[in-house]
Every structure is written in structure tokens, then in C-alpha cells.
């Protein structure tokens, strides 16, 4: 799947890191880094992370199936 965080909107609250630690992590004290292309098995975690983000900075989607 695909993940994208609007890092302008992100205020580094870290809820996503708790919800999906294998996708989101902090690099330094306040800078969020994440995996743009996590495996499907992580979809549930990513969904939780997106729902937990207090500023709704996280979007995700399935891989496009070719247009």
C-alpha cells in the first residue's frame, strides 16, 4: 500500500508512531519519518495511525492497479 504524510500539517504528536511503529518513526526529537510503501499486512495499523493523528496529516491508498 501507499502512505503519505503532510509534514507541513504534522505537528509531531507521535500518535502514529504508537499506532504503527513499523511504519512511522521519529528521526531526531521532532521529525517524523515513515515508510511510503508498507506491505499490505500493515494496512490495519496504518488505518489506526491515520485515525489517531490529531491533525489528519496521514493519507493512504492501495497500490493503483494500472490505468
Partner 1 sequence: MSSPAAPGRVVIVGASLAGLRAAETLRREGFRGELTLIGDEPHEPYDRPPLSKQVLAGRASPAHTALVRAPDLEATWLLGEPAAALDPHTRTVTLAGGREIGYDRLLIATGTRARPWPAAEEAALDGVFTLRGRDDAERLRAALAAGPRRVLVIGGGFTGSEIASVCRELGLPVTLAERGPAPLSGALGAAAGSVAARMQRAHGVDLRANTTVMALEGDGSGRLRAAYLSDGDVVEVDVAVVALGAVRNTEWLAGSGLAADARGVVCDAACRAFDADAVVTDDVYVAGDVARWPHPHYDGLLLAVEHWDNAVRQAETAAANLLREPPAPLRPHRGLPAFWSYQFGVNIKSVGLPTIADEVVVTQGAVADGRFVAAYGRQGRTVAAVAVDSPRWLPAYAGFVAANLPFPPDLHASDAPDPLRPVPAGLALDDRATHSPTAAVTGDGPTASDRSTHRDPRSPLTAPPL
Binding-site ranges for partner 1 (CB under 8 A) = 2-4, 6-8, 10-13, 27-31, 33, 35-37, 59-62, 64-65, 67
> How far apart are the two ends of the chain, measured CA to CA in Å?
16
Q: Is the dihedral of CA 48, 53, 54, 56 positive or negative?
A: negative
23 lies in the site for ligand SF4, by CB under 6 A: no
Residue 51's binding partner among partner 1, ligand SF4, none (Cβ under 5 to 8 angstroms by kind) is: none
Residue among 16, 20, 23, 46 that touches ligand SF4 (CB under 6 A) = 16
Report helix, strand or coil for 43.
helix
Amino acid at each position: 500500500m501507499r502512505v503519505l504524510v503532510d509534514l507541513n500539517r504534522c505537528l509531531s504528536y507521535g500518535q502514529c508512531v504508537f499506532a504503527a511503529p513499523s511504519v512511522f518513526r521519529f528521526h531526531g526529537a521532532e521529525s517524523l519519518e515513515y515508510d511510503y510503501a508498507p506491505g499490505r499486512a500493515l494496512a490495519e495499523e496504518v488505518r489506526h495511525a491515520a485515525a489517531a493523528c490529531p491533525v489528519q496529516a496521514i493519507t493512504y491508498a492501495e497500490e493503483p492497479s494500472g490505468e
